[in-house]
Amino acid sequence: MDIRNSVLFICFFVVTLNFSCAQKSKNQVNIPSEVPFSAMLFIDELQIPWGMAFLPDGSMLVTEKSGELILFKNGKKIKISNIPEVYQRGQGGLLDIELHPDYQNNKWIYISYSSSEGKGKGGHTAIMRAKLEGNSLTNNELLYKAGPNTTKGQHFGSRIEFDNDGYLYFSIGERGARDVNPQDITRDGGKIYRIHDDGRIPNNNPFVGSNDAKTAIYSYGHRNPQGLIKHPDTGAIWNHEHGPRGGDEINIVKAGANYGWPMVTYGINYSGTSITDKKKMDGMEQPIHYWTPSIAPSGMAFITSDKYGDWKGSLLVGSLSFQYLERLEMDGTKVIKREKLMPNLGRVRDVKEGPDGLIYVAIEGRGIYKLVPKK
């Protein structure tokens, strides 16, 4: 092969996916002609852009896992001060970010991160809120801190989402303690949580009144959820989570529901040995979709605009392991088609639909791309 052709990326087939070749350049990625967008580099030189949020003035807040909060405004990156102290280990860091639904009036910003506060060595997932004044966070308030701390570096979870009633949902992974945390509602980890926007526990949370339960828990039996999104039509909260070797899942989050990990799974250990022979059990929810092999999903967004033709209603999910953006065509809660987008560009950490109706994709080691519809 001619050396000049080494910049071409060969696309491969997964399940029903049809792939074409894409050529890298610094500011633009050439997408196959049948794809209705070009990918333009919007913010460059980011290492692990974990989360992003759009401000009303058109600027964007971006979390870098390393512990920096960046305001991108008028084409410039501004480092925000007075961010929380982050426990740096493994998958931990400065993680997701979300604006309050009534941000125009109350100015609250919500952030998830790994924190060493509390009992024990190491760290665990924390949720805080703050306001942005100039180039600094103010009014910092810790809303929830999981515990006890652990020096394990995996499975912090940490996605944040609001529902139509103003409740705040967030995910915390099982922190590598699969046989202890996910099935025990008296312990943090392996759960989806629901709180009021000021950190109070809703009286109608499913485990309020249960002995010793963590009453912020909304659902349990999760492994490491790194996707959390509100369905644009039903208002239901959807999540996706990492399986081990295979068995990544998409679930619809229900009050008090048990999603089975590690008692049921479509995955196996990384070594190839079995975790369990059970894929279903009474009283445990089945995923609406699962990936085998694992794509290592991160970030999640529904397309709600008409900017991309008949893609409206599709679900977008980033892949860390295979380094692409996946489009899932939905029929209600059923996945009827999978399509690979932006192949081989890098590990897709987050994906969001902006207030302009365009899709923004955060890619490790590169930055944030804007998917510009073709005319």
- Which residues are identified as catalytic? 155
The SS3 of residue 7 is helix
Query: Which candidate, 290, 321, 296, 316, places its Cα nearest to that of 305?
Result: 316
Instruction: Report CA torsion sign: 168, 364, 181, 183.
Output: positive
Tokens of 168: 């705040």
Task: Write the CA distances from 111 to 1, 6, 11, 67, 100, integer angstroms.
Answer: 48, 41, 36, 12, 11
Strands (E), 48-172: 49-54, 60-64, 68-73, 76-80, 94-99, 109-115, 124-133, 136-145, 160-162, 168-172
C-alpha span between 28 and 16 (Å, rounded): 27
Q: What is the DSSP letter of 371?
A: E
Residue type for 353, please? Answer: E
Distant-in-sequence, close-in-space partners of 326: CB < 8 Å, separation ≥ 6: 295, 316, 317, 318, 319, 338, 339, 340, 341
- What kind and span of H or E run contains 353? strand 348-353
- 274 CB neighbour count, 10 Å cutoff: 10
C-alpha span between 344 and 176 (Å, rounded): 29
C-alpha span between 181 and 284 (Å, rounded): 16
C-alpha span between 270 and 71 (Å, rounded): 38
The SS3 of residue 259 is coil
